[in-house]
Structure 1
Amino acid sequence: ERLKEILKERELKVYWGTATTGKPHVAYFVPMSKIADFLKAGCEVTILFADLHAYLDNMKAPWELLELRVQYYEQIIKAMLESIGVPLDKLKFVKGTDYQLS
């Protein structure tokens, strides 16, 4: 209800981030359910893949695998949201390395 009130006055932008340190698992449905609520309400949602953070976190993601992990996370997250009928037209993804290394 509160979201709909805000959206009548202005666009609402949501930003959520995750480090690509391992495989997404069933617990990802917790934040995805909230992201789904925002997308269904018409909010713009940006998901940050903290790939550089994952690399620097005790080398949990080898440099050579950073891009592949980001692609994997994006596919998994889209599939999770689509599986519960969420529109993806206002969803976008960014990578930390797109701006943290410049």
Structure 2
Amino acid sequence: MVSAKRLSQMIRKWQRVAAIGRKRLMWTSAKEVDECCTSVAVKGHCAMYTADGRRFEVPLAYLGTTILGELLRMSQDEFGFTSNGRITLPCDAGVMDYVMCLLRRNASEEEI
């Protein structure tokens, strides 16, 4: 089992490697931006997108966890506050699936 701290370190490392290997600019049409911004998350959830464009609806209770807080800080550093009206996390869908799995199992143990 990977701890939240170790997972944060791995994500930071993957982010650095990915930044070296490719550019982070994503070209989207106006239609795609309109579609993403009009879809509302389920009550009690927050919609977030991964760098590869997959949408995740994260329960608000998870926002206080260490790992998600670190991902949001990294997102702010990489994308800033202007990312076409959506929260984009600097990881791919596979990493986010793993993070969500960890949070579902023990979110209450990792709260700040």
The two structures have a TM-score, normalised by structure 2, of: 0.31
Q: 1 or 2, which has the higher strand percentage?
A: 1
Which structure has more relative contact order (CA 8 Å, sep 6+)? It is: 1
Q: 1 or 2, which has the higher helix percentage?
A: 2
Which structure has the bigger radius of gyration? 1
The two structures have a TM-score, normalised by structure 1, of: 0.33
